[in-house]
A and B are shown apart, each in its own frame.
Chain A
Amino acid sequence: MAYFIQRLLSMAVTLFLISIITFTVTNILPGDVAMMIMGTQSNPAALANLRESLGLNDPLIYQYGRWIFGMLTGDWGNSLLFKQPIGPILLQKMTASALIVLLSMTIALTLAIPLGVWSAVYKNRWQDTAGSSVSILGVSLPDFFWGIMLILLFARALGWFPSSGFVHPNEDFLLALKHAFLPSLALGLGLMAHLTRMTRATMTGILSQEFIRVARAKGLAEKTVIWQYGLANAIGPVMTVAGLQMGYLFGSIIVMESLFNYTGMGWLTYQALLNRDMPLIQATVFIIAAVVMLVNLLVDLLYPIFDPRIELK
């Protein structure tokens, strides 16, 4: 518990620092949201007027104070660009992102663990070469390549899945999955490659250890040796990598989001930055940072479950 509280406190400090850095850096960038809203319809008078009405003329420290106070009281403020409360926008985009992040991770892990274990068991034999080839292919080809191929095959040629768009799971869960499937698969293939290599590497290490030989000598079934003795010990590092990847995916899958026109957190952050929508930039960066930290915390908390030797202090 003490460990947990300590981690949460350090998270709060980090987030506070991140918010200050984001705020400062975005204010250094040329241009502001008033300019982006008006574009080439602006003239100096109208621009000045809009800046005033958006509160952009207030001192920076005041603008920041207003934001942090709002945050602490649960009011995320309004997006200046969309003229909508930020909370619901964030919730919607987080849902969209969470859906493909979780789905792609599920796909990746389901494929990667058996493949990695298989490669490790048949180390240096043809099975291993085959497994390694698959994962090298996955790592070498960028995920947007998979995306385009999947669209051509499953959307254009076969028509099994929609080529683009996002449907909220509350509206129609099956349809939401259908929309999320292709982008998740494209992401999952790349992820799978990473995780397969990770599983193979740790599993190879474990399988060559003393206790595995002892287990085999005891006459345990090979299946039990590999899955219960081997994998149970190898899974920790794999989960850590998977956790790190998940946090990373939330904000960084902008390419996949635009390829499938599946607007999630990556898209929202990009729009916010592009249009200098300060409150929205603050909120998206804050949320993504928080998610990355929370997922990592979660992985750390789960660690003792995979490996009882580890104690959290």
Chain B
Amino acid sequence: MKSKIIHNAISALGATVILGLLSPAWAASCPVKGGTLIWGHSETTQNLYTHQTGTISTMRILQNIHDGLVTTDKNLNIIPELAESYVVSKDGMSYTFKLRDGVKFHDGSDMTSADVKYSFEKVMDPDTGAVNKPVFNSVGSIETPDNLTVIIKMDKINAPFLGRLAALGAGAIIPEGSAETQGTMPVGAGPFKFVRREIGNEVELERFDDYWNGPACIERLIAREVTEPTVRLTGLRTGEMHLINDIPADRIDEIKADKNLEVLSWSHGVFDFVNLNYKFEPFQDQRVRLAVDYIIDKEVLLQGALWGQGKTAASPGFSSSASYNKDLTQRPQDIAKAKALLKEAGYGPGDLKVVFKATTNYPYHVEAAQILVEWFREAGVELTIEQLTWADWLGQVWVDKDFQMSMMNFNSIWEEDFLYYSLYNSTGGFNYRGINDPVIDELTEKARVTIDDAARADIYKEVQQRVFDKVHDIVVWHRNSSFGAQKSVGGLDTLVNADGATYHFHKVWLKE
């Protein structure tokens, strides 16, 4: 996506205006129009009401149905989408959005400020059960002085607010009064209209000709829900599907070898880390945590558990974002050092026994744990693996925090507050390791009231450094995601969103 950020005269009045300018050439580039694209989707879509759904699998569909006031460019800078421009007051206490004129919803109605107010208030309403309700915690009021202006007044500063609106879970704009039916019949202002869904079978979308940003290239998108990777691969190779997502790491070469097919891989969006629970006494000692880090050879782990389909990394952040701390490098494997550290902490060979809870939902986590066992044994630590189903893992590790060591991955969380505050602040919603670090608490709170983007990015760099120094977690890699496609599919470079996890079919086209 290209857009120009213009700081114009209004900044002189104590505010910053950001305008998104669309060049008509960009909006009109479809080498071929029409056709039905069949996508073999790896997961089952659930509740289709965007505000209520937390799963990325469903969001992949909804991303094509909805737009938000703002979105991001490739480097995760916030840019206007349904808003034509926006102003953030200098004190960070109010956001004024000027809406695009003539934006239509799929039901034919015009988007107005009333729809925006309605959408956000629905997320704020406890009865909605919105996953992203906390995004609006500091919102005081939403005012609509005219049809195309929305002013959001904050009770207290929340600098990450705009960034959170750029994700559809919180930011999707739906027509007034449509919340009740969104779950079965989602209606939005995005490039595709929802046609139908057969649960567990397929979802059909149709091009929305009145899309404000120009109609999509393809006429129809059918997302077949095929959860078995082998079935997806067969579907691609028999030509029943145009493209499939999520190819198992060990099967990628098979597709690459097929002259009719191509593979698209990217390594942003999903990171995996090894978790140490602070409730488990030995891990309260930094020397023990450090020893664990030295026990793990990340590169070998990547090759062994993930067939090398990823990149080792020391930070969970998006390498494309301005806040990514590029100076961090992972600690190398050093069993002797690990042993020395453990001894210093009072654990001789055989003294420390650790249980590793891995979920079978991510088979490569189980494989990684199996590789760790031998290294731990060399370092004099007895590691036993407990395999859990997804429900059990969520219950025991995530909710009850009943574990010693585990592993998890996160995808699509690029917004820094969502990522670092949730994971590392002592009150963070994703802090299942029980991390309680006053320095991180202070930094993450400070970021929330730091309006200046560059200054905020620097704070998050410090947070990454601190997490690394204190070994609060051991980030191992950023996993590759991949697509396999027929050569007849064009515009693949536009398919993957900046979040690395959702797809946008607006500019994807079929050669025949």
A and B associate in one complex? yes
The CA of A267 and the CA of B228, in the complex, are separated in Å by 12
The CA of A274 and the CA of B46, in the complex, are separated in Å by 13
Which of B224, B226, B227, B398 is the one whose CB lies under 8 Å from A42? B398
Which of A37, A54, A83, A274 is the one whose CB lies under 8 Å from B390? A274
Residue of B nearest to A33 (CB): B391
List the A side residues contacting B398 at CB < 8 Å.
Answer: 35, 40, 42
Task: State whether A83 touches B183 (Cβ < 8 A).
Answer: yes
Among A159-167, A186-194, A236-244, A302-310, the stretch that binds chain B is A159-167
Which of A53, A92, A155, A164 is the one whose CB lies under 8 Å from B198? A92
Q: Which residues of chain A from 49 to 91 have any CB-CB distance to chain B below 8 Å in the complex?
A: 49-50, 52-54, 81-84, 89
Task: State whether B234 touches A156 (Cβ < 8 A).
Answer: yes
Task: State whether A261 touches B199 (Cβ < 8 A).
Answer: no
What secondary structure prevails in chain A residues at the interface with B? helix
Known: A35-B399, A37-B54, A53-B129. A276 touches B47 (CB 8 A): no
Instruction: Name the 8 nearest CB pairs between A and B, nearest first.
Output: A43-B429, A53-B129, A83-B183, A263-B200, A83-B47, A41-B54, A31-B391, A31-B395
Instruction: List 17 A-B pairs, Cβ < 8 Å.
Output: A30-B392, A31-B392, A36-B391, A37-B46, A38-B54, A43-B430, A45-B134, A47-B399, A50-B129, A81-B47, A83-B48, A84-B199, A159-B238, A163-B235, A165-B202, A259-B228, A267-B200
List the B side residues contacting A52 at CB < 8 Å.
Answer: 126, 129
**Residue of B49, B126, B169, B391 most packed against chain A (CB within 10 A):** B391
The CA of A93 and the CA of B44, in the complex, are separated in Å by 15
Task: State whether B201 touches A263 (Cβ < 8 A).
Answer: yes
User: Please, what's the 1-or-0 string for B104-129, where 1 marks a CB less than 8 Å from any CB in chain A?
Assistant: 00000000000000000000001111
Which of A36, A43, A258 is the one whose CB lies under 8 Å from B394? A36
User: Please, what's the 1-or-0 string for B30-64, where 1 marks a CB less than 8 Å from any CB in chain A?
Assistant: 00000000000000101111001111000000000
* B22 contacts the other chain (CB 8 A): no
Interface, chain B (partner A; CB < 8 A): 44, 46-49, 52-55, 126-131, 133-134, 169, 183-184, 198-202, 224-228, 231, 234-235, 237-238, 240, 389-392, 394-396, 398-399, 408, 410, 422, 428-430
Task: State whether B134 touches A83 (Cβ < 8 A).
Answer: no
List the A side residues contacting B48 at CB < 8 Å.
Answer: 83
The CA of A165 and the CA of B41, in the complex, are separated in Å by 12
Residue of A nearest to B55 (CB): A39
B245 to chain A, nearest CB (A): 15
A27 to chain B, nearest CB (A): 13
A268 to chain B, nearest CB (A): 7
Known: A46-B131, A274-B390. A156 touches B237 (CB 8 A): yes
**Residue of A35, A43, A159 most packed against chain B (CB within 10 A):** A43
Task: State whether A53 touches B429 (Cβ < 8 A).
Answer: no
Task: State whether B226 touches A261 (Cβ < 8 A).
Answer: yes
Task: State whether A164 touches B231 (Cβ < 8 A).
Answer: yes
User: Please, what's the 1-or-0 string for A149-162, where 1 marks a CB less than 8 Å from any CB in chain B?
Assistant: 00100011001001
* A260 contacts the other chain (CB 8 A): yes
List the B side residues contacting A44 at CB < 8 Å.
Answer: 429
* A178 contacts the other chain (CB 8 A): no
| Other 10 A-B pairs with CB < 8 A, given A41-B131, A53-B129 | A29-B391, A35-B394, A43-B430, A49-B129, A52-B126, A54-B129, A83-B46, A89-B199, A274-B389, A274-B390
Q: How many residues belonging to A are interface residues under a CB distance threshold of 8 Å?
A: 49
A93 to chain B, nearest CB (A): 8
Known: A43-B422, A163-B231. A82 touches B201 (CB 8 A): no
Residue of B nearest to A258 (CB): B228
The CA of A47 and the CA of B131, in the complex, are separated in Å by 8
The CA of A103 and the CA of B458, in the complex, are separated in Å by 65
Residue of B nearest to A41 (CB): B54
List the A side residues contacting B134 at CB < 8 Å.
Answer: 43, 45-46
Task: State whether B235 touches A164 (Cβ < 8 A).
Answer: yes
Task: State whether A84 touches B391 (Cβ < 8 A).
Answer: no
Task: State whether A155 touches B391 (Cβ < 8 A).
Answer: no
List the A side residues contacting B201 at CB < 8 Å.
Answer: 92, 165-166, 263
List the A side residues contacting B237 at CB < 8 Å.
Answer: 156
Which of B47, B55, B183, B429 is the one whose CB lies under 8 Å from A45? B429
Residue of A nearest to B54 (CB): A41
The CA of A45 and the CA of B137, in the complex, are separated in Å by 12
List the B side residues contacting A84 at CB < 8 Å.
Answer: 183-184, 199
List the A side residues contacting B200 at CB < 8 Å.
Answer: 93, 263, 267-268, 271
Residue of B nearest to A36 (CB): B391
Which of B133, B169, B199, B428 is the one whose CB lies under 8 Å from A82? B199
Task: State whether B131 touches A53 (Cβ < 8 A).
Answer: no
B484 to chain A, nearest CB (A): 15
The CA of A53 and the CA of B127, in the complex, are separated in Å by 6
Known: A45-B134, A274-B390. A30 touches B396 (CB 8 A): yes
Task: State whether A42 touches B54 (Cβ < 8 A).
Answer: yes
User: Please, what's the 1-or-0 string for A182-200, where 1 marks a CB less than 8 Å from any CB in chain B?
Assistant: 0000000000000000000
List the A side residues contacting B227 at CB < 8 Å.
Answer: 258, 261
Residue of A nearest to B52 (CB): A83
The CA of A163 and the CA of B230, in the complex, are separated in Å by 11
The CA of A57 and the CA of B312, in the complex, are separated in Å by 43
The CA of A49 and the CA of B429, in the complex, are separated in Å by 14
B233 to chain A, nearest CB (A): 10
List the B side residues contacting A151 at CB < 8 Å.
Answer: 234
